[in-house]
Amino acid sequence: MARETSGSNRQAAEVVVIGAGLSGVAAVIALRRAGIDDVVVLEKADRLGGTWRDNTYPGCGCDVPAMLYEYSFAPHPWSRCFADRSEILDYLRLTASTHGADDAIRYGTEVLDARWEPGAHRWNLETTTGAYTARAVIVATGPWHRPRRPAIPGLDAFPGPVFHSARWNHDAELAGRRIAVVGTGASAVQFLPEIQPEAARLDVFQSTPHWVLPKPDYPLPARLHGFLGRHPAARRALRGMHHWTQEAVGLPLRHPRLLRPLEAVARLHLRTSVPDRALREALTPHYRLGGRRLITSDTYYPTLTRPNVRLHPTRATAVEGSHVIGADGRRAPADVIVLATGYHVGEIPLAGRLHGTGGVPLARTWADDRRAYLGTSVSGYPNLFLLVGPNLLTGTTAVPTVLEAQLRYIAGALTHLRASGCAAMDVRPEAEEAHQRALREALRTTVYSPANGSGYYFGVPGVNTFSWPWSTARLVKRLHAFSPDPYAWTLPGALPAPREGRDRHADGTLSLRPGARPGGPSGTP
């Protein structure tokens, strides 16, 4: 619980978590389970939920099986194999309430600035509701936060409603209107089948076709959950089946020579869903499956065959009056424009407000390459941890799996920090660089390499800053147990003179040299 520091108006906490979505809720629960109770969550919105709160477009749902999109400690009786947005949001609210995470959240509190104070070995945060200070900060804002709005000439002068799918305008009248949709990514695949029946005309601008696999969605009736509740082993087996199915899809993404059978399934899905040969050709990708985000749907392709739908296999390049113009020069009349152009994925909105050693903002550190040791720690930013950071996701791994693995690691780091008597920990540049080299080398032979992929995987041209190139099992194993070796540890200056393996700095602090183990005043580990 935050408390006011003596002689200061700052609220103090051991850990401040920024963001109360899937990641932030998990962070509170995981830290408290590890015995770290002094946790505060700063959330700029008036309620929790993150991306599941913000995305309200018709048909919004998860493309990962629901049994994998849950915390391992909070199984849920999902209504369908793939949960929709409202059910996921209800699940997050219920889990936060059941596990007492609600009392840690400070709503309506946006972080304006966060700076590492080297003398005090703490983070000082300025927010819209006051100042905070914390020993450690966990950034839980997620990679899908800031919508990407394309710079299309004339778009701002369009006379009708224009909105991004991530900020759906429910006041815009769609029934009987001519709707132009720019983009055919994951959100468009979900909302197009929902709005098609009411639209007078639907023009869809596709810059790049996506690989689309069948989506085996089906209801999970109450009697099934009753059975699974009485037989936990059966539920574990069903969850395991979903997990290994996802892993089976992920294997050829890491070994492209195995992709042909999966690509054949996707082509068969397209052929059986779209009878028209010309339309089918326009929807056929000419890059390896997995080079862009994988999409699953049984309704997207049939929607594009409806009489009131027209696919434009081209980029939207201009808007003139009430017309959207494609790169091929063709014009589509429109009353409403919906932008389904994705997010600035991986670009932490707070990167310009997080100032590490020497006052350097994370945005500047990441100007040429977003990187973090194990997707979690950035050199030069002591006691700062990222959830779902760079290069920590695959095309098939469920986010909760990544989160729980990371939070075990972070809880271990903070527990070690407590026990060691150290004031700060900062991942060594050489450890970060070694991890980065291993990532680049491993990515080179996967479908996630620049030779095969594009899109939001590449935060910097030619550099994949999104994908984990190994298996989910390897990710969990790497994060399973915290190791102090890759970190430099700083001790308060009041401790005794340096022992072997330590250096004293001008400010009176001590840091450990590579290979040295941190220890408290009594030499305890």
Amino acid 88: pLDDT: 98
184 and 313, same domain (yes or no): yes
265 vs 262: CA distance, rounded Å: 5
Which of 30, 115, 137 has the alpha carbon at shortest distance from 425? 137
190 and 294, same domain (yes or no): yes
Amino acid 498: pLDDT: 41
Amino acid 508: pLDDT: 41
250 and 321, same domain (yes or no): yes
Of all helices (H) and strands (E), which one includes residue 46?
A: none
357 and 499, same domain (yes or no): yes
Are 475 and 405 within 8 A, CB to CB? yes
334 and 380, same domain (yes or no): no
**Quick check: helix, strand or coil at residue 142?**
coil
236 and 308, same domain (yes or no): yes
The CATH number that applies at residue 23 is 3.50.50.60
Examine the fold and report which residue of 306, 339, 372 is the final residue of a domain before the chain moves on: 339
Amino acid 346: pLDDT: 61
DSSP code of 304? H
Which of 394, 375, 389 has the alpha carbon at shortest distance from 471? 394
Q: pLDDT, tens digit, for every residue of 15-60?
A: 999 999 999 999 999 999 999 999 999 999 999 999 999 999 999 9
Which residues of the chain, if any, have pLDDT below 70?
1-8, 345-346, 452-456, 459-461, 493-525
173 and 315, same domain (yes or no): yes
- Which strands sit side by side in the sheet containing 178-182, from one edge to the other? 162-164, 336-339, 178-182, 201-205, 309-312
138 and 245, same domain (yes or no): no
Amino acid 453: pLDDT: 59
105 and 206, same domain (yes or no): no
369 and 383, same domain (yes or no): yes
State CA 497 to chain mean position distance: 44
Strands 316-320 and 323-326: antiparallel
111 and 230, same domain (yes or no): no
**Quick check: helix, strand or coil at residue 302?**
helix
Number of domains within the chain: 2
Cα dist from 136 to 109, 361, 363, whole Å: 18, 17, 19
Amino acid 522: pLDDT: 26
515 vs 484: CA distance, rounded Å: 9
Which of 254, 253, 273, 272 has the alpha carbon at shortest distance from 263? 253
- Domain containing 321 equals 155-219+224-339
Look at the pTM and tell me if it is higher than 0.85: yes
Q: Is residue 520 in some structural domain?
A: no
Q: Is residue 522 in some structural domain?
A: no
